[in-house]
C-alpha cells in the first residue's frame, strides 16, 4: 500500500466513514417499515439484511425486502416501493443534517493532496443537497451516489481522473468489493461498521489496512 500522500485520488463512502449515520439510517428504515404496518418479525428480518449489506443502494434494499421478505403482491409492489423510498428519503435528509462527522475526518481530508470524491450508496441528489447545506461540498471534487451501483461509481471516478492510483475508504463489504474490482487500494474504517468482525477477517486476509481513527492512517 502506498503512503497517504502518494495517491492521486481519494474516494470515501459516506455512512459510517464521513458521517456517524449507520445506526440512524437503520432506525429510520425500521420506523418507515413499521409505519407501513409490516409485522415486527418481518421488519427485523429486513433490518438484518439491511445491516449486513450496508453500502448497497436503498433501491436495492427496498426491492429485496418487498420481493423476498415481505412477500408483497406484484400489483402492490410498485406503489408501495415508491412510498417506502419517499418516506425513507425524508427521514434521511433530516438525520444527515444532524449526524455527527466522524472523529478527525476534516483534519484528515484536508491533508489529502489529491482529488477527493464521495462514492455512496445513498441517493445522489439527497446527498449533494445535504453536503451543500452542511458546507462539506468544498472538500470534494464531486459527490456520487445511488441509484448507480458503487462499483460503477468508482470506475467512473477513475475514468474521469485517468488513473488507478487511488484509495477507497469504507466500512462495508460493498466498499471493499468496489475497490478490489477496480484494482485500487482499500482502507477499512472500522469503529462504526455494522459488520466489523467479518470485515476485519476479510481485510486481514487481503492485506488491507484497518483503522479506527483517521489520525492513524499511515502517511
SS (H, E, C) 2-35: CCHHHCCEEEECCECCCECCHHHHHHHHHHHHHH
Contacts (Cβ under 8 Å, ≥6 apart) of 31: 91
List strands edge to edge, sheet with 115-123.
142-146, 115-123, 9-12, 166-170, 185-189, 209-211
User: What are the grid coordinates assigned to 61, written together?
Assistant: 434494499
Written as tens digits, the pLDDT of the chain (219 aa) is: 556 778 999 999 999 999 999 999 899 999 999 999 899 999 999 999 999 888 788 899 999 999 999 988 888 899 999 999 999 998 888 888 989 999 999 999 998 889 999 999 889 999 999 999 999 999 999 999 989 999 999 999 999 999 999 999 999 999 999 999 999 999 999 999 989 999 999 999 999 999 998 877 765
User: What are the grid coordinates assigned to 86, written together?
Assistant: 419517499
User: What's the pTM value of the predicted model, to 2 decimals?
Assistant: 0.88
The whole-angstrom separation of Cα 131 and Cα 128 is 5
The whole-angstrom separation of Cα 57 and Cα 120 is 8
Amino acid at each position: 500500500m502506498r503512503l497517504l500522500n502518494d495517491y492521486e485520488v481519494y474516494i470515501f463512502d459516506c455512512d459510517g466513514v464521513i458521517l456517524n449515520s449507520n445506526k440512524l439510517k437503520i432506525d429510520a428504515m425500521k420506523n418507515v417499515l413499521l409505519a407501513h404496518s409490516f409485522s415486527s418479525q418481518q421488519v427485523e428480518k429486513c433490518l438484518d439484511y439491511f445491516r449486513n449489506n450496508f453500502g448497497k443502494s436503498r433501491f436495492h434494499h427496498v426491492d429485496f425486502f418487498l420481493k423476498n421478505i415481505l412477500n408483497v403482491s406484484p400489483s402492490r409492489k410498485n406503489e408501495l416501493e415508491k412510498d417506502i423510498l419517499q418516506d425513507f428519503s425524508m427521514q434521511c435528509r433530516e438525520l444527515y443534517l444532524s449526524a455527527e462527522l466522524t472523529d478527525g475526518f476534516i483534519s484528515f481530508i484536508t491533508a489529502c493532496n489529491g482529488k477527493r470524491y464521495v462514492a455512496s450508496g445513498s441517493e445522489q441528489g439527497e446527498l449533494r443537497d445535504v453536503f451543500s447545506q452542511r458546507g462539506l461540498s468544498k472538500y470534494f471534487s464531486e459527490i456520487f451516489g445511488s441509484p448507480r451501483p458503487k462499483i460503477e461509481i468508482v470506475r467512473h471516478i477513475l475514468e474521469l481522473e485517468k488513473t488507478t492510483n487511488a484509495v477507497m475508504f469504507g466500512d462495508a463489504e460493498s466498499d471493499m468489493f468496489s475497490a478490489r474490482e477496480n484494482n485500487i487500494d482499500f482502507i477499512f474504517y472500522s469503529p462504526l461498521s455494522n459488520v466489523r468482525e467479518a470485515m476485519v477477517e476479510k481485510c486481514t486476509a487481503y492485506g488491507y489496512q484497518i483503522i479506527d481513527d483517521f489520525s492513524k492512517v499511515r502517511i
